[in-house]
Structure 1
Amino acid sequence: MDSIFHRVTIHELIIAIVVVLSLVFLLIMLVLLYSFYKYKVLYQRQIWLQESEQKVIQAIVSGEEISRVDEEFITRLRNPSFRNVFLSVLVASDQKFSGGARNEVNNLFKIYKMEDAAWQKLRQRKSYLVAGGILELAVMRVERAFPDIASLLEHPKRQVYQEAQYAVVSFKGFDGLDFLNTLVVPLSDWQQLRLLRSIGKLPAAHEEWVKNWLSSSNESVIIFTLRLIRKFQLLPFYADVINLFDHTAVNVKVQAIRTIAALENDETVNQLIAAFFTQPIEAQIEILRALKKSRSPQSESFLQQQLWHHPAISIKIAAAEVLIALKQHGYLQRIATDETVPEEIKQVIKHALQEKT
């Protein structure tokens, strides 16, 4: 009886091992098949990418003679995957080139009716597709798409409304920034840089808008406006920026200090020093950076005071670095070798001198 039971157990064990090995083999095969499929997809995409780039290069080099309708290429474009690759190459090329080359890229967009594909994306539910459609229509300057794109500024998905923001500014320039008047969601740093890059000039009647944005309840709108003031050197807003030193948000204070440093005049150094004592550490460090950039000898006494008496090590180090920028190496070296000077200050100076070296 024990022998029969023993034989049955071994039999079952063998069956279990075979099943497990079969499953492992099946899993390995599935992984290999999936990897092969992904490889084919990537390989095919690479081929499509090269073909699309070649089509763009031919159009740019040879002009309209090559840009006329290629029936074989139209047949290839019936494949949605190939069409999306070609569309992405057109968008990337349009952003890369300018002048006549850019016009030829835009001609390809029209000749092969890529606008239809972009419109289809705009009507999809997936946010990444909608955002892609917005970008494509904006980059290819399809003006009649503006109302549809503008309606997406209030879209609940971040990817969509950010692309819509960028698109309306691409279409309308500075005037496209009117959405900032009612914007409640944050404007990311990357989005701010994109928008700034899209604005080439300011209209004559920009002052009222800029002043309004500087008093916005949305901190990111204020920060964007400060960057706009820096980019275009809007000197008339100097006093308004100074007033932002009293803003409750540290990030706004820091950006206001950077902007004042960019708009520097004869009073800037004194104003920065006067504001220093009421600022948080982050803003104080930014003020010291501004003084370092200014390299004004009138700040030497103030900097020495911070080196000796400020309670924060980070401020002491920053003050010492500014003194180095003001060619005060001798003063710092004398302190570093004075036996009566506290060890903490000596270490700060040595650190600053080493950083400079």
Structure 2
Amino acid sequence: MNENLHILESLKHSSPIIQLIWGLSCLFFIIIAILTFYLKYLRNHLRVNEKIETKYQEIYESYLVTYLYAGNDEEAFSSEQQIIIEKLKKYAADPFKRKIIVSTLLKLRNEISGEMGESIDKLFIKLGLLRYSLAKLRSKKWDVIAIGIRELTQFKIKAVHKIIMNNINHPKREVRKEMQFYLVHLYAFEGLEFLNVLETPLSEWDQIQLLEVLQLNNNTQIADIKPWLKSSNDSVVIFALKIAKVYNQFEAKEVLIELLNHKCEDVRINAISALSHLNIIEAKNILKNNFNDRGHEEQIGFLKMMENVYEASDKTFLMEHINHKSTEIKLLVIEVLKNINFEEFALNEAELKKTLTA
């Protein structure tokens, strides 16, 4: 006790800086102690919630499995299904339990397909869960909006696509992405109508994912891509060029050729790639005539095209570029020359290879 009093007395007569340091040390100690107790409480709380969630999930899974096998062909919903619906409706009134019901429905929806999958979609609406997903679309938080759109996609709710379209140019990429996936998952090529009014960039990764979704869809009716090839949004034009390649859109030949003079280099490079894939030989002469005015990537793209559409008359042009400063272009030129006349290439192979070291 006397020792503590001595410390306090010494502190009282010490300099203000030392008193401040001691004061801050005590404050930090108290804060750390409070945070430690709070973290312990939070961890225990999460464990309890996890146990409760697991318990309810098992109950709801049991209800849902019974629901799926209790249907018949005579009624939209059998009497046994109606009982389960009423029970789940009561649970759904509680936000915590509603969240578990939705996650359980999604889990089952991802595991089954066909008529049972459609039955899950109908149950989502019957339980009144649709209005909660739509309410999320009115949220001021972008992540809540994204979750709402994702739920509508997963349960294949088509009737609300006009509401979803309101987010077409949302400032957050995540929201735009969910909206785009909603439209393409549910409407395939018809869903690409958003490209007509899209003002924001469509990222490379989003383009790849949208193409994957389109290819998984059984709808073989391809949309007219010409309006998208003429879009003022360069990323939309590039995406349309990728569609032209994947779905062999030879009908868009004239517009594709026009894109060789587009103001954006990325568009021109993708246009060359699409024209090469489609073996549109008319583009070759255009590119030959202004080869030196084009960027390095465009030149490489054109020479790769020539590997598919070469003619004997191209030899003069190729020989003009056999000593190009780019090694990659030299190699491509030699490869095309080899394809044009393999015997002549074999005779002069040693001489041609010297150009690589020039």
Length-normalised TM-score, structure 1: 0.70
Closer, same or farther in 2 for the Cα pair 1:19/1:302, shift >3 Å? same
For the residues of structure 1 that align with 2:300 and 2:54, how far apart are their CA atoms?
A: 48
Matched, 1:312 2:326: yes
Structure 1 position 180, deviation (Å): 2.5
Farther off after superposition, 173-182 or 33-42:
33-42
CA distance in 1, matches of 2:254, 2:62: 51
CA-atom RMSD in angstroms: 4.7
User: Within 2, Cα distance between the matches of 1:42 and 1:335?
Assistant: 75
Q: Number of aligned residue pairs: give it.
A: 334
Residue of 215, 227, 230 corresponding to 1:215:
230
CA separation of 1:263/1:19 partners in 2, compared to 1, >3 Å: closer, same or farther? closer
* Residue from 227, 240, 250 that aligns with 2:265: 250
Gaps of at least 5 residues in structure 2 are: 1-5, 72-79
* Match of residue 33, structure 1, among 11, 25, 38: 38
> What secondary structure sits across from 1:143 in the alignment?
coil
The separation in 1 between residues aligned to 2:303 and 2:260, in whole angstroms, is 15
Rounded Cα–Cα distance in structure 1 between residues aligned with 2:176 and 2:247: 26
Corresponding position of 1:262: 277
Question: Do residues 63 (structure 1) and 74 (structure 2) align?
Answer: no
1:139 equivalent in structure 2:
154
Cα pair distance change 1:330/1:33, threshold 3 Å: farther
Take 1:324 and 1:172, find their aligned partners in 2: how far apart are those partners?
Answer: 47
Question: Is 1:20 aligned with 2:25?
Answer: yes
Contact 2:56-2:97 at 8 Å conserved across structures: no
Contact 2:57 2:104 in 1 (8 A): yes
Q: Distance in 1 between matches of 2:145 and 2:23?
A: 50
- Which AA in structure 2 matches 1:334? A
Q: Alpha-carbon deviations, 1:295-338, whole Å to 9, x = none?
A: 968678766654x42123453466578789999997898359x8
Tell me which residue corresponds to 1:334.
350
Which whole-Å CA distance do the structure 1 matches of 2:168 and 2:290 have between them?
A: 38
Mapped to 2, the partners of 1:76 and 1:47 lie a distance apart of 14
What residue number does 1:346 align with?
357
Is the contact made by 1:131 and 1:160 (CA closer than 8 Å) also made in structure 2? yes
CA distance in 2 between partners of 1:109 and 1:332 (Å): 72
Is 2:6 the counterpart of 1:9?
no
One of 238, 241, 247 as aligned partner of 1:226:
241
Tell me if structure 2 keeps the 8 A contact 1:196–1:228.
yes
Deviation for aligned residue 1:118: 0.8
- The 3 A distance-change label for structure 1 pair 112 and 235 is same
Task: Verify the 8 A CA contact 1:187 1:221 in the aligned structure 2.
Answer: yes
Distance apart, 1:256 and its partner CA: 0.8
Pairwise CA distance, 1:249 = 0.5
Identity percentage of aligned residues:
24
Q: Distance in 2 between matches of 1:186 and 1:332?
A: 49
Cα distance in 1 between the residues matched to 2:319 and 2:41? 68
CA distance in 1, matches of 2:66, 2:236: 43
Cα distance 1:93–1:255, how it changes in 2: closer, same or farther (>3 A)?
farther
Question: Structure 1 residues 194, 105: CA separation in 2 closer, same or farther (over 3 Å shift)?
Answer: farther
Residue 165 of structure 1 deviates from its aligned partner by 3.6
The aligned counterpart of 1:188 is 203
Deviations for 1:63-114, whole angstroms, at most 9, x for unmatched residues? 3339942777656545534533543564576467542453244244235432
Q: 27-36 vs 274-283, which deviates more?
A: 27-36
Residue 254 of structure 2 corresponds to which residue in structure 1? Answer: 239
Alignment of 1:267-278 (within 5 A): 276-278=291-293
Matches within 5 A, 1:24-103: 24=29, 26-27=31-32, 30-31=35-36, 33-34=38-39, 37=42, 41=46, 44=49, 48=53, 52=57, 63-65=68-70, 68=81, 69=84, 77-84=92-99, 86-88=101-103, 90-91=105-106, 94=109, 98-103=113-118
Contact 2:169–2:198 (CA<8 Å) still a contact in 1? no
1:163 maps to which residue? 178
Q: CA deviation at 1:193?
A: 3.4
Partner deviation per Cα, 1:143-187 (whole Å, 9 max, x = no partner):
332232233335454443443343344444433333333332222
Q: Is the 8 A contact 1:64 1:104 kept in 2?
A: no
Moved more, 234-243 or 179-188: 179-188
Mind listing any 5+ residue stretches in structure 1 that lack a counterpart? Answer: 348-357
Is 1:151 the equivalent of 2:166?
yes
Cα distance in 2 between the residues matched to 1:320 and 1:57: 68
- For 2:259 and 2:240, how far apart are their aligned partners in 1? 12
1:33 maps to amino acid: Y
Structure 2 residue identity aligned to 1:196: L
* One-letter code aligned to 1:27: I
Q: Tell me how far apart the structure 2 counterparts of residues 31 and 290 of structure 1 sit (CA, whole Å).
A: 65
Cα contact 2:257–2:283 (8 A) shared by 1: no
| Structure 2 counterpart of 1:309, one-letter code | N
- SS, match of residue 174 in structure 1: helix
- Encode CA deviations 1:114-158: one digit per residue, 9 max, x unaligned: 213212212211111122212222332323322322333354544
